[in-house]
Amino acid sequence: MRGDGVSIEAVTSRDAMTEFAMLPFQVYGEREAWWPPDVQNEIDLLCSRAPISSHLAMMPLAARRAGKLVARVTAVVNFRYNTHWNEQIGQLIHFEALPNETAAAASMIEEAAQWLRQRGMTAVRSGFAAFLDYPYAVDNYCTLPPFLLRNSPEYYHNYFKSAGFMTEKGLTDFTIALTPQTLASYPKMIDDAARRGVRVQTWREHGFMNAVDAWTDVTNSAFERHWGWNPITREEVRPMLAGLARTEVADLSTLAIAGGDVVGAVFAVPDFSARLARVRHGVRLEETRGGGTRGALINIGVLEGWRGTGANLAMAARSFSAMARQGMKYAGYTLVLDENWPSRRTAQKLGGAITSNFVVYRRDFVK
């Protein structure tokens, strides 16, 4: 307990984990629209019951003021990530905090940082970890963010800077208006790739679970040296995506096939806002943000030997064309690192424009 009534506690009991997982409902609950967390999945991760758990060491922490939960975070050592990159960097995931709690948030983050230092970490990052964490918004604070992303409050920047962090990376979200003119350009992209020996299939056409395995393999290869990524396994991806086999995902996600081999993969989703977002009664979402009108390309990768064939454009073009046929007026292309110019150019060729920006934070430990 600090002198200002703030205490930092390890989260160990089931009740404490449930309270921990529910804090976003206090942070975002008054917004017109937001993406709530999957509370049970968070608890399963904290209890080491998730497929990825064997690769992690975790310490969930809670900050309380006069007994009330005001901030949360989980310190993580991802052994697989550190082995892949030959680094010793820790991660802070699950960060959320109430307003006007700079001191409590800074104390909690410092406690998490010290836990990581004691385990040999030389730096800590927050805002990007494969399947674990997503970046912090720097604009559009009052609108529904793209699917999977949180539109974090603007005061989070103050919290991290007060805790000694700097901005490590910037990322962007593109939005494509699926106008008749834009859609008319897509068949040529598909034909151009076909002339180079690349044809496009949907995941449903390929066989959904076979496509999931192909996506996993292509992503591991295509993203091998992509900043922030680490290898994943079929065993952990299959249970995450299997439940989507009978949804529109099977028709929106695509593969690039050349000579019988999968050389590229896209994972894309429909507008899930009606099913998964919390939207206040009577609120009508902007068409570019949801309400049944905005699909999203979540991930796109092409094997190195097949880059430059137009496989990327062809896969995205077929995905976006399918979105339009299902009544969607916009497509998201997210997330793209600021320095990833090939991916940025792909988004622009598809008709995209930047509509949201995000950042990742980092703090290096002083020796």
Q: Which CATH architecture has domain 6-164?
A: 3-Layer(aba) Sandwich (3.40)
Residue 1's pLDDT band, with cuts at 50, 70 and 90, is: low
Q: What average pLDDT does this structure show over 96-117?
A: 97
Specify the fold of 175-358: Aminopeptidase (3.40.630)
The per-residue pLDDT for range 116-157, each reduced to its tens digit, is 999 999 999 999 998 899 999 999 998 899 988 888 999 999
Q: What average pLDDT does this structure show over 101-126?
A: 97
The residue that leads in pLDDT, 47 or 2, is 47
AA identity, residue 364:
D
Q: Are 193 and 235 in contact (CB under 8 A)?
A: no
**To 5 degrees, how large is the angle CA 76–CA 219–CA 165?**
35
Reported as type and span, the H/E element at residue 359 is strand 352-364
What pLDDT was estimated at residue 86? 97
Report the chain's mean pLDDT, rounded to a whole number: 95
Q: Is 217 exposed, middle or buried (0-12, 13-18, 19+ CB in 10 A)?
A: middle
pTM for the whole thing? 0.94
Q: Is the pLDDT of residue 294 over 80?
A: yes
- The answer to whether the peptide bond before residue 335 is cis (omega within 30 degrees of 0) is yes
Q: CB neighbours (10 Å) of residue 132? A: 18
Give CA–CA dist 354/344, Å, rounded: 9
Q: Which of 238, 366, 356 is nearest to 296 (CA)?
A: 356
Q: Is the pLDDT of residue 96 over 90?
A: yes
What pLDDT was estimated at residue 4? 76
What pLDDT was estimated at residue 173? 96
Dihedral class, residue 245 (left if φ above 0, else alpha if ψ from -120 to 50, else beta):
alpha
What pLDDT was estimated at residue 290? 86
Q: What average pLDDT does this structure show over 51-69?
A: 95
The per-residue pLDDT for range 187-235, each reduced to its tens digit, is 999 999 999 999 999 999 999 999 999 999 999 999 999 999 999 999 9
What pLDDT was estimated at residue 131? 86
The per-residue pLDDT for range 28-57, each reduced to its tens digit, is 999 999 999 999 999 999 999 988 999 999
Q: Residue ranges of the domains in the chain?
A: 6-164, 175-358
What pLDDT was estimated at residue 3? 58
What pLDDT was estimated at residue 163? 96
**E strands of 41-165, at which residues?**
56-65, 68-78, 89-97, 123-126, 136-137
Q: Is the pLDDT of residue 2 over 80?
A: no
Q: What average pLDDT does this structure show over 154-163?
A: 96
Judge if 6-164 and 175-358 fold alike in CATH terms.
yes
Strand pairing category for 261-269 and 294-302? antiparallel
The per-residue pLDDT for range 338-353, each reduced to its tens digit, is 999 999 999 999 999 9
Q: What average pLDDT does this structure show over 170-187?
A: 98
The per-residue pLDDT for range 74-90, each reduced to its tens digit, is 999 999 999 999 999 99
Q: What average pLDDT does this structure show over 258-283?
A: 95
